[in-house]
Amino acid sequence: MQKQSDASTFRSESGLGMGSEAAAHKNDAITGRRTASAATSAERGPDRHQRMLGLAVILLAAVAALVLFVATPPPIGRARMLTYSPDQIRESRLKHANVKRIHPVRAAFVVLARNSELHDLRATVRQLEDQFNNNHHYPYVFLNNEPFTEEFKQAMEWATTGDCHFGLVPYEHWSMPPWVDRVRARRARAAMGDSVPYGDSESYRKMCRFESGFFFRHPLLDNFDYYWRVEPGVEFTCAIPYDPFKYMVDHNKLYGFTISLLEFPTTVKSLWQTTNAFRATYPGYIAENNTLDWVTTPDGSSYNMCHFWSNFEIASLHFFRSPAYTAYFGFLDRAGGFFLERWGDAPVHSLAVAMLLSKDQVHYFDIGYLHRPFQNCPTDPDFNESHCFCNANRSAIHNVDSCTKAWLAL
């Protein structure tokens, strides 16, 4: 019965067993359905192509995401920070003798150091205390991209007369930003190699970026207006019988230096070009009585490599926090030169000072200071004899790579 029913259905749909007129009507209906089906398929053609194009776009996006994931390793440093205790991230150790002390300036020494640099730093801090801070008790802010050990904290607490604040540098401030091409950066380090100091070092580049645009943003510095940068292993070779912080405030100075030198040209190939682009974009930030002549060739067309040696600087934190400076740093940071070349914080600070400050806001401190292999030694023979243990004839100001005489001649 099933077979007969199927056969009857087949014959009925095909027109067999019908009259000629009925069969003709049936055939017309079938032809109409086929024509409509063909028209529908034609209408769906573009939709099909669009779907195929959409799938191709999704596939390309997935491939691009995979490449980006491979090129940009997961932020292990950021994840690791979640495991640190609050005391490892930020801790202040205050001295009872300083509870009622009021400093004439809200200022601090700022030290970026590793735990392994403890012994060099202890010698530096003791010398700074003997030559100056025993009489002033300014606080210290110690920063590190890893937690300080208890040994380090205790040693600094015992070596200083000021309060001690210990802070961890946030991952975002000590890393390569996501817009920098990792492959190009790695090739740049390999190409530079040991032709210049730290030419192949990624960590050094992270330090330069941090010192250029982030140290002043650390929460431990929020309550300070001025800072004095100190590095492990440096020496203070003369007594300092006055307060440099107070001098800065009383004379409206925003930046102070003691040594200036020439930069390695291969490390800053595009820094001047990028700086000029910033000047063209933000002309309102450029100071009228600026000192760009000090950092440019006689025709003003290129960078002459002069810079303040920023391992010693006494400066206003308001200057670094200003819209002008933060805009300049942001402009440089987006260009990627900290990693694609080896832009140092010294030329970055120096170009910013030359552009954004007037000459009378910058001060040369003739302080006894040694950061091997260069030193500054006061040239006044009476002062040198009674306050110093350095040789003025070996002062960097006499070096052919020094730019200090040119600065003083402005």
Residues 6+ positions from 175 with CB-CB distance below 8 Å: 75, 77, 206
Give 35: exposed, middle or buried? Use CB within 10 Å, 0-12, 13-18, 19+: exposed
Gap between the Cα atoms of 407 and 52, Å rounded: 66
**C-alpha angle 382-388-392 in degrees, rounded to nearest 5:** 75
Assess contact for 287 and 355: CB atoms under 8 A.
Answer: yes
Name every residue whose Cβ is closer than 8 Å to that of residue 257 and which is 6 or more positions away in sequence: 308, 309, 310, 312, 313, 362, 363, 364, 365
- In the chain, the amino acid numbered 301 is S
Phi, psi of 369 (to 5 degrees): -150, 135
Distances (CA, A) of 45 to 38, 48, 50, 54, 124: 11, 5, 9, 14, 78
d(CA 141, CA 137): 13
Interacting residues of 17 by C-beta distance below 8 A, sequence separation 6+ = 11
Residue 307 β-bridge partners:
261
Determine the Cα–Cα distance for residues 128 and 125; give it in Å rounded to an integer: 5
Exposed e or buried b per residue across 180-201, where buried means at least 16 C-beta atoms within 10 angstroms of its C-beta: bebeebeebbeebeeeeebbbe
d(CA 142, CA 337): 27
Under 8 Å between Cβ of 331 and 196: no
Q: Which residues are catalytic?
A: 313
Closest CA to 132 of 102, 162, 112: 162
